[in-house]
Amino acid sequence: MGDLKLPAIDYGALAPMLILFGVACAGVLAEVLVPRRSRNAVQLALAFLGIAAAFIAVIVFVQNGSRGVTIGGAVAVDGPTLFLQGALLVLGAVSLMLIGERSLERGGTFVSQAAITVGSQKDVKQAGDQPGLTEVYPLTMFALGGMLLFVSANDLLTMFVALEVFSLPLYLLCALARRRRLLSQEAALKYFLLGSYASAFFLFGVALIYGFSGGISLAQVHEAVVNPQNSQVLLYAGLALLAIGLLFKAALAPFHVWTPDVYQGAPTPITALMAACTKVAAFGALLRILYVAFDGVRWDFQPVLGTVAVLTMLVGAVLAVTQTDMKRLLAYSSIANAGYLLVGVLALNPEGLSSTMFYLVAYGFSVLAAFGIVTLVRDADGEATHLSRWAGLGRKSPLFAATFTFILLAFAGIPLTSGFTSKFAVFGAAVEGGQTWLVIFGVITSMLIAFPYLRVVVMLWLSEPGESTPTVSIPGFMTSAALAIGVLATLALGVVPAPLIDLTRDAAQFVR
C-alpha cells in the first residue's frame, strides 16, 4: 500500500452541489425533528434557501473567473457547467414553487403516506385532508444536486454516479401523487425499470470505453480517440451504449417510450421538474460527452445521432397530433423538443453549444408554465387532463386561457416567443455546422407540431364550455409566481433574446 495522494479539491467549485446535498440531508433530519404542523413550511424554506445559496455560490464562482478541473479530474468547472448549473437552479426553484403549492387542494399534490395500499380503508381516510408528504423536498434537493453534478462530471464514473443520484429520487417522486395513485405508482415502476435498464447500457458503455482508452476521464478518452491504441470496435460500441443511456434520459426516440406514461402518471409538479430540469441535465451531459470526449469521431456519430434526431422529431410531432390527454400531448411535445435540441447538439460548433443551452433554458421556462397551468384545471377528481374537458375554458377563465395560449404559441414556434428564437438559434447553428438536412426535417416537423397546439388554442377559445368543463382554480401565490416567471421569460426571450444568447456564447467553452 503506500502513498495515497489526496487530489486537490476546489471547494468553491463544488460548493453548489455540496450546499444542495447538505440541505437535502438537513431536510431528512428535519423530517424527524420538526413537528408535523410546521414541517412543510420549514422544509420549503430550507429548500428555497438551499437553492438560493447554491445559486449565489455559482455566481461567486463565475465572478472569480477560474475554470478548470478539480477533485482529481472528476469534476470540470467551465462555462457550460456554470451556465447549466445556474439554469438548473433557476428552473429548479420555479419547479419547487409548483411542488410546494398547498392551496390548490387540501394537503397538496402529494400523498400523505405512500406505503398505504391503494383503495384500502386507510387510503380513503388519507385521501381526505391529511397533509402531503414533506419528504418531497429533500428528494427534490437530492435530484437537483445530482443534476448539478451530472452536467459537471468530467469522468464517466462520476457521471454514472450522478445519473443514479438524480434518477433515484425522481423514481420515488413519480410515485407520490395524491390522486390516481395506481397510475402514479405504475409510472414510477415503469420509469424505474426502464431507467435501470438504460443505466445498465450506460455502465456497459463505460466499461467498453475503459477497455478502449484505459481511462475514464473525458480527457483520457479524448486522447485515445485521437490516437487509438486499441480496437475501434470497443470505441464505437462503447460510444453507442453511452449514448443510449443519455438518449433515454433525454427522451429521444426510440428510447422515449417511457415518457408519455411517466409524464402522465407522475404528480404534475414532478412532471414539470422532469420536463425542465432532467432535460437540461441530460443534454448537458450529452453535450459534454460528445464535445469533449468524442469530438474526434464526430463524422461517425453525426449521421447516427442525426437519424435519431429526425426520428425523434417525427415521432414527437406526428404522435402529438393524435393525443387526447393534455399531459401526454405535452409529453410528446417534450419528445419533439428533445429532437430539436439534438439538432443543436449535432451542429458540433460553438454556436451549437450556445444555442442548445439557450434552448434548454427557454424551453424549461415555457414547459414549467405549461404544466403549472395543467395543475390548475381541476374538477372534483383532481386535475382534468383530457383534452375535451378543456373546451371553452377561454370563456370561463380568459386570463388562464390566454396564458396557456401564449405558451402553446411558444411551443408552436410562433415569432416573438422564445419558441421561435430558440428553434431559430439551433437551426441556425446546425446550418452553420453543415447539418442542413436536419434543419429541413426540423422545419417540417415544427410546422406539423404547431397543429395540435393550435387545435388546443381553438378549442380553448372557440368552443362552448360544456356541462363537464372543469373550473380553473385560483392559484396560490407560488403557482402564480411560477406562471408569471414562465410566461415573462417566454416573452422576454422571444422579443429580446440577445442578452441570454450573449451569455451562452460567452459560456460556450468546455475544458478537458
Partner 1 sequence: MEQTVEYAHATGVLSGIWLLVAIPLVSAAILLLLGKRADAWGHWLGVLSVAASFVLGLIFFISLAGLEEGERTAQQSLWDFITVGNLHVDFGLLFDPLSGVFVLLITGVGSLIHIYAVGYMEHDPGRRKFFGYFNLFVAAMLLLVLGNNYVMLYFGWEGVGLASYLLISFWYTRPSAATAGKKAFLMNRVGDAGLAIGIFMLFAYLGTTQYDAVFSSVGGLSSTVVLVLGILLLLGAAGKSGQFPLQAWLPDAMEGPTPVSALIHAATMVTAGVYLIARSNPIFSANHTLQVIVVSVGALTLLMGCIIGAAKDDIKRVLAWSTVSQIGYMFVGVGLGGGAYALAIIHLLAHGFFKANMFLGAGSVMHGMHDQVDIRRFGGLRKYMKWTWLTFATGWLAIIGIPPLSGYFSKEPIIAAAFERGDWTSWLFGMAALLGAGLTAFYMTRLFVLTFHGPERYTEDNKHPHESPYIMTVPLMILALGSIVAGGLMVLTDVPHWLEPVLGPEVEHEAVLSHTLITVLSLVVTVLGAGLAWAMFRNGTALEPQPAGVVVTAARRNLYTDAFNEAVFERPGIYLTRALVYLDSKGIDGLVNGIAAGVGGSSGRLRRLQTGFVRSYALSMLTGAVLVVGAFLAIQLGWLA
Beta carbons within 8 Å of 3's beta carbon, 6+ residues apart: none
Minimum CB–partner distance for residue 105 and partner 1 (Å): 22
User: Which positions from 251 through 280 interact with partner 1, judged by CB under 8 A?
Assistant: 253-255, 257-258, 261, 264-265
In the complex with partner 1, the residue whose CB is nearer, 24 or 439, is: 439
34 counts as binding partner 1 under rule CB under 8 A:
no
How many Cβ atoms are within 10 Å of 440's Cβ, its own excluded?
13
User: Which positions from 155 through 184 interact with partner 1, judged by CB under 8 A?
Assistant: 183
Q: Which stretch binds partner 1 (CB under 8 A): 24-32, 75-83, 140-148, 193-201?
A: 193-201
Task: Write out the H or E segment, with its range, that includes residue 314.
Answer: helix 298-321
Q: Which stretch binds partner 1 (CB under 8 A): 37-45, 112-120, 130-138, 494-502?
A: 494-502
In the complex with partner 1, the residue whose CB is nearer, 210 or 461, is: 461
C-alpha separations of 489 from 97, 176, 190, 494 in Å: 16, 29, 33, 8
CB burial of residue 455 (10 Å; 0-12, 13-18, 19+):
middle
Comparing C-alpha atoms, which of 359, 331, 321 is closest to residue 447? 321
In the complex with partner 1, the residue whose CB is nearer, 120 or 322, is: 322
Angstrom distance (rounded) from CA 90 to CA 334: 19
221 counts as binding partner 1 under rule CB under 8 A:
no
Beta carbons within 8 Å of 200's beta carbon, 6+ residues apart: none
Q: Which of 72, 186, 207, 211 touches partner 1 (CB under 8 A)?
A: 186
Strand partners, 383: 378
* H-helix segments, 34-135: 36-64, 79-99, 121-129
Beta carbons within 8 Å of 323's beta carbon, 6+ residues apart: 260, 329, 332, 387, 452
User: Which positions from 450 through 479 interact with partner 1, judged by CB under 8 A?
Assistant: 450-451, 454-455, 457-458, 461-464
In the complex with partner 1, the residue whose CB is nearer, 53 or 443, is: 443
How many Cβ atoms are within 10 Å of 68's Cβ, its own excluded?
14
Comparing C-alpha atoms, which of 201, 102, 181, 96 is closest to residue 138? 96
Minimum CB–partner distance for residue 70 and partner 1 (Å): 31
How many Cβ atoms are within 10 Å of 174's Cβ, its own excluded?
25
In the complex with partner 1, the residue whose CB is nearer, 25 or 440, is: 440
Q: Which of 67, 131, 168, 197 touches partner 1 (CB under 8 A)?
A: 197
C-alpha separations of 411 from 118, 121, 201, 369 in Å: 36, 43, 32, 11
Angstrom distance (rounded) from CA 154 to CA 293: 9
In the complex with partner 1, the residue whose CB is nearer, 31 or 261, is: 261
361 counts as binding partner 1 under rule CB under 8 A:
no
In the complex with partner 1, the residue whose CB is nearer, 10 or 261, is: 261
492 counts as binding partner 1 under rule CB under 8 A:
no
Minimum CB–partner distance for residue 496 and partner 1 (Å): 6
Q: Which of 88, 155, 497, 512 touches partner 1 (CB under 8 A)?
A: 497
Minimum CB–partner distance for residue 125 and partner 1 (Å): 26
In the complex with partner 1, the residue whose CB is nearer, 170 or 241, is: 241
User: Which positions from 301 through 330 interact with partner 1, judged by CB under 8 A?
Assistant: 301, 303-304, 307-308, 314-315, 318-319, 321-322, 324-325
In the complex with partner 1, the residue whose CB is nearer, 239 or 377, is: 239
Cell of 221: 478518452
Q: Read off the DSSP letter of residue 297.
A: G
Minimum CB–partner distance for residue 450 and partner 1 (Å): 7
C-alpha separations of 13 from 145, 218, 243, 288, 303 in Å: 13, 18, 27, 17, 36
Q: Which stretch binds partner 1 (CB under 8 A): 113-121, 127-135, 239-247, 480-488?
A: 239-247
Q: Which stretch binds partner 1 (CB under 8 A): 52-60, 107-115, 219-227, 228-236?
A: 228-236
By CB under 8 A, how many residues form the interface with partner 1?
Answer: 86
Angstrom distance (rounded) from CA 112 to CA 159: 33
In the complex with partner 1, the residue whose CB is nearer, 23 or 225, is: 225
Place of cell 456519430: 301
Minimum CB–partner distance for residue 360 and partner 1 (Å): 16
Minimum CB–partner distance for residue 218 and partner 1 (Å): 19
In the complex with partner 1, the residue whose CB is nearer, 97 or 409, is: 409
Angstrom distance (rounded) from CA 418 to CA 424: 10
Task: Write out the H or E segment, with its range, that includes residue 68.
Answer: strand 68-70
User: Which positions from 383 through 442 interact with partner 1, judged by CB under 8 A?
Assistant: 386, 398, 402, 409, 414-416, 421, 424-425, 427-429, 431-432, 436, 439-440
In the complex with partner 1, the residue whose CB is nearer, 145 or 419, is: 419
Angstrom distance (rounded) from CA 504 to CA 337: 19
482 counts as binding partner 1 under rule CB under 8 A:
no
- Mark residues 83-122: x for contact with partner 1 by CB under 8 A, - for none: ----------------------------------------
239 counts as binding partner 1 under rule CB under 8 A:
yes
Cell of 350: 460553438
In the complex with partner 1, the residue whose CB is nearer, 29 or 462, is: 462
340 counts as binding partner 1 under rule CB under 8 A:
no
Q: What's the alpha-carbon Rg for the chain, to the nearest Å?
A: 22
